[in-house]
Amino acid sequence: MQTYKIFINGEWVNSVTGKTFSSLNPANEQILGEFQSCNYEDVNKAVNAAEKAYPEWSNVPAPKRGEFLLEIARLLRKNKERLGKLVTLEMGKIYKEALGDVQEAIDIFEYMAGEGRRLFGITTPSELKNKHCMTIRTPIGIVGLITPWNFPIAIPSWKISAALICGNTMIFKPSSDTPLCAVELVKILEKAGVPKGVVNLITGKGEDAGNAIIRNKKIRMISFTGSRDTGEFILKNSGIKKIGLELGGKNPIIIMDDANLELALEGVIWGAFGTSGQRCTAASRVIIHKKIKDKFEKMLLNKVKKLRLGNGLDKNTDIGPLVNKKALEKVHNYTQIGLKEGAKLICGGKLLNKKGYFYFPTIFTNVDKNMRIAQEEIFGPSLAIITVNNLQEAIEVCNSVQYGLSSSIYTNNIANAFTAMQKIEAGIVYINSSTIGSEVHLPFGGVKQTGNGTREGGVTGIDEFSEIKTIYVDYSGKLQKAQGIN
């Protein structure tokens, strides 16, 4: 059994703790490797390395930093199939989705490389003569990146690429469910020639390594994707830092009575059961007009019952396993909650009787909007169907949860579409498409309890990982006072 190391100051080393933990293949529960259980001493070493590397890296011209990102993208493309297989082995998603995970990383590194020739500031007229006003972007400093397991290559790449192009150095801590993907990603950064100390990899539990990262006073920013409760803990315990949070979702698909039902059916199946429902953008609620509810349910059941569970490397598999035993138990617990609340279970609701963390696609109907299965993030292949009378009621149900990440409406009525665009409380709205499928050159994030207003992706990713400096140049040769003061 191979024991993997952490990456500090350009070297692969063991943790000072001497302790390790295992990463499992969720399809068969076999151990993939042993990984370092880091503590605050390891984090301090990584921070010191990042601090030492920062002056030189931040002084590299941004277009030159972009060349490193292009080389990373090239190596990711070269290793796409190998990394895709690794994602399936360690996280469980089916192989074609795992390839998409890696492609997303390729795309974001290529996009952020181009930002090295932009990093735009603004110029604006002064209210005074012979005075110039402008803004420039500067790096933040050392940033802490804490990433989840469901997109073990893509989400770290969103953060790392933006942090690198802006001139920051970083401490990267992946989920303990997918440390091997993180190790292989950092090996690619190393091979691309990223200078030592710029990127440092720490593995281990959140209460140890993660806690040390968020409390370290030299780390000036935390970017976190994960659960709402952990995000709240970070806000309360990180001190005065820049904080970027992308938390949960309880994403709806509205289906109106004028919708193309075949198209909506494809969107619901992809949104609810792609990645076994383990996406923050997964569609966990279908809000459907009463006129078409019965017809659509029959169509949905006919399709879902044909979905095949299994190892994601099997080309015949439609749905892979959940990531671990705890996730499996959580999803099944919500099935019991739904039954106790009086919802009608029409599909699934049980574990697959074989080794691995498999759960059948589960559908509840006759769900009330206030039931827990309609309000709380389950993060598994569980779908609640809620019936409504009109668009206004649909939007009210849509907005009745604490989250606001992604959303969708299927309709052929342009007025319905534009009303939804305006009234749905979410960071992302899809028209006649599913709730998943964000593109890297556009902002990604949500409202309400989904986060704290930050957005990754596109130019807003640059906003997240840079500071704005306002500059005034007075060439009048005398003291000029603003606001009309003589």
Residues with a known catalytic role: 246, 280
Look at the block and give the residue holding tokens 């704290």: 452
Helix (H, G, I), strand (E, B) or coil at 138: strand
User: Quick check: 304 and 273 in contact, CB under 8 A?
Assistant: yes
Supply 25's token pair: 């293949």
DSSP 476: S
Instruction: Please give the radius of gyration of the chain, using alpha carbons only, rounded to the nearest integer.
Output: 24
Characterize the bridge pairing of strands 403-404 and 447-448.
antiparallel
Q: List phi, psi (to 5°) of 136.
A: -130, 160
Chain centroid to CA 323: how far?
A: 16
Residues in contact with 26: Cβ distance below 8 Å, sequence separation at least 6, in sequence order: 91, 92, 320, 321, 322, 323, 324, 356, 357
What is the rounded distance in angstroms from the CA atom of residue 308 to the CA atom of residue 360?
A: 9
Distance CA 269, CA 307 (A): 10
3-state secondary structure of 142: strand
Take residue 206 and report the two structure tokens written for it: 């959140």
The pair of three-digit structure tokens given for residue 108, joined into one six-digit string: 């974001």
Backbone angles phi, psi at 474, to 5 degrees: -105, 115
CB 201 within 8 A of CB 187: no
